[in-house]
């Protein structure tokens, strides 16, 4: 069905909204709803209080509520009446990604809200699902972000929310729009979900290929032997198993002092700049020539063919250095292999599922997600003879590149679906197209 515009339009009086259909109006949210900000977090029981589940901003996503991780706190009998959720209440995040909106569909029997969430009770003569899509448009266009109070993080206060201008069509139009978008968005979300699952399956396939190649090789007829390590199992004959430090000239990390950043100069790299198989310099910081030379003298510049391993915060991303015109900070391990260990093979081994599990086993129970250099040196590594390393690298380069290309194409498809969804919601709720069936 090709969608057409409404017969007549008028100026909404709001620049960023533009024209709206004749017969529609713009109303402040406070005139068409009741807004309640949730209860301040409290852990005290004052005798007649009841322990109840409540939602926080992190439970609210666009169009849905996640009740898999909800906390409990004490509510008085009066507070229970104020903060209890009812079906079709709109839930709007007050902090974090402000304005994120979902509709309460009674995911659990009884639930309340904490003061990082507003509940918006739309007046009975209006359709709450239509206003869910209006709020989603406001979020996508950045309107909520533009009006928040900011200190360190944004806060969409009740006072700000009350003054939000909403596009209000006649009730029949609201229902037609909500029904139309429900159908279209459900179909789009289904396609996005299917493609997202396919991406996850491809990533699992990629992980399995790497894991098998670095533990069993690529020769299915190879004779196997016991590695002597239970979690590794059997490996091909002629392969070695030992601590990483036995196969490396040097294992260190970058600077433990963060230099002052500049607008131009030399790059310094942190854990966030190391991606799946490359260094992304697009958002990397600059430091002065003097600081660069100082850190370089202190061993913070890797050599060409060194391996960088993310070891703080995000563990296990790995890249072979091909251009070393930068220095690294301490969140990165810098590994210089011996001549009989190919850097490219080492990278595949370090990102293998076997090794990732090994690394996390060393920090289990720690409050910080951090690998020390001493722990990295003690990692167990499987090392084939160098000719086999070369074959494994060539095989994995080809196989993973094919998978990565497929993943990229599917991700682009998902992005297009997401963009179409945003555009569709925006055009429909602002009246740029008429979705009323059988109407002129």
**Which residue has 């945003």 as its token pair?**
422
**Burial bucket for residue 91 (CB in 10 Å: 0-12, 13-18, 19+):** buried
pLDDT band of 440, cuts 50, 70, 90: very low
Long-range contacts of 415-421 (CB under 8 A, 24+ apart): 417/188, 417/191, 417/192, 417/195, 418/192, 420/188, 421/185, 421/188, 421/189, 421/192
**238-275 tens-digit pLDDT:** 999 999 999 999 999 999 988 899 999 999 999 999 99
Q: Average pLDDT, stretch 90-96?
A: 90
pLDDT band of 16, cuts 50, 70, 90: confident
pLDDT band of 314, cuts 50, 70, 90: confident
User: What pTM was computed for the model?
Assistant: 0.81
Is residue 331 within 8 Å of 258, Cβ to Cβ? no
Q: Average pLDDT, stretch 345-360?
A: 95
Topology of the domain comprising 240-383: Adenine-n6-DNA-methyltransferase TaqI; Chain A, domain 2 (3.90.220)
Could you tell me the strand order of the sheet in which 90-93 lies? 33-37, 117-122, 90-93, 101-103
Among 348, 210, 337, 332, CA closest to 271: 332
Same fold, 169-220+385-440 and 240-383: no
pLDDT band of 117, cuts 50, 70, 90: very high
The proportion of the chain whose per-residue pLDDT surpasses 70, expressed as a percent, equals 97
**271-283 tens-digit pLDDT:** 999 998 899 999 9
Statement: residue 42 has pLDDT above 80: no
Statement: residue 173 has pLDDT above 60: yes
Residue 98: per-residue pLDDT: 86
Question: What value does the mean pLDDT of the chain take?
Answer: 92
Query: 169-220+385-440 maps to which CATH number?
Result: 1.10.287.1120
**151-164 tens-digit pLDDT:** 556 788 899 999 99
**186-229 tens-digit pLDDT:** 999 999 999 999 999 999 999 999 999 999 999 999 999 999 99
Statement: residue 123 has pLDDT above 70: yes
**Superfamily classification of domain 25-168:** DNA methylase specificity domains (3.90.220.20)
**356-405 tens-digit pLDDT:** 999 999 887 666 688 999 999 999 999 999 999 999 999 999 999 999 99
Q: Hey, where are the domains in the chain?
A: 25-168, 169-220+385-440, 240-383
Least confident of 15-24, 304-313, 324-333, 413-422: 15-24
């Amino acid at each position: 069905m090709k969608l057409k515009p409404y017969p007549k339009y008028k100026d909404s009086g709001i620049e960023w909204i533009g024209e709206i259909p004749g017969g529609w109006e713009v109303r402040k949210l406070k005139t068409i709803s009741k807004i309640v900000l949730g209860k301040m977090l409290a852990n005290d029981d004052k005798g007649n209080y009841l322990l109840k589940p409540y939602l926080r901003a992190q439970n609210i996503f666009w169009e849905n509520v996640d009740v898999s991780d909800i906390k409990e706190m004490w509510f008085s009998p009066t507070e229970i009446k104020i903060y209890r959720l009812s079906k079709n209440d709109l839930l709007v995040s007050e902090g974090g990604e402000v304005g994120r909106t979902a509709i309460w569909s009674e995911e659990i029997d009884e639930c309340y809200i904490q003061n990082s969430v507003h509940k918006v009770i739309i007046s009975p003569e209006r359709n709450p699902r239509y206003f869910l899509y209006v709020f989603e448009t406001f979020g996508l266009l950045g309107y909520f972000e533009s009006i928040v109070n900011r200190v360190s993080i944004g806060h969409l206060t009740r006072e700000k929310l009350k003054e939000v201008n909403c596009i209000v069509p006649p009730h029949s139009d609201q229902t037609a729009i909500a029904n139309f978008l429900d159908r279209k968005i459900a179909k789009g979300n289904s396609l996005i979900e299917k493609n997202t699952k396919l991406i996850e399956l491809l990533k699992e396939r990629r992980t399995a290929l790497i894991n098998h190649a670095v533990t069993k090789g690529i020769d299915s007829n190879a004779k196997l032997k016991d590695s002597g390590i239970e979690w590794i199992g059997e490996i091909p004959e002629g392969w070695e198993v030992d601590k990483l430090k036995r196969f490396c000239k040097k294992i260190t990390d970058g600077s433990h002092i963060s230099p002052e950043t500049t607008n131009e100069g030399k790059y310094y790299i942190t854990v966030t700049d190391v991606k799946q198989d490359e260094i992304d310099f697009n958002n990397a910081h600059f430091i002065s020539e003097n600081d660069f030379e100082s850190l370089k003298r202190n061993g913070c510049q890797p050599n060409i063919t060194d391996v960088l391993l993310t070891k703080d915060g995000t563990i296990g991303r790995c890249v072979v250095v091909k251009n070393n015109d930068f220095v690294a900070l301490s969140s990165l391990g810098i590994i210089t292999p011996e001549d009989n260990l190919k850097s490219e093979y080492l990278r595949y081994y370090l990102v293998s599922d076997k090794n990732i599990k090994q690394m996390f086993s060393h920090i289990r129970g720690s409050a910080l997600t951090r690998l020390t250099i001493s722990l990295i040196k003690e990692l167990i590594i499987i090392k084939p003879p160098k000719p086999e390393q070369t074959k494994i690298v060539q095989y994995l380069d080809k196989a993973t590149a094919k998978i990565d290309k497929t993943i990229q194409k599917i991700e682009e498809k998902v992005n297009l679906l997401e963009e179409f969804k945003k555009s569709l919601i925006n055009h429909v709720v602002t009246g740029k197209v008429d979705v009323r069936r059988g109407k002129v």
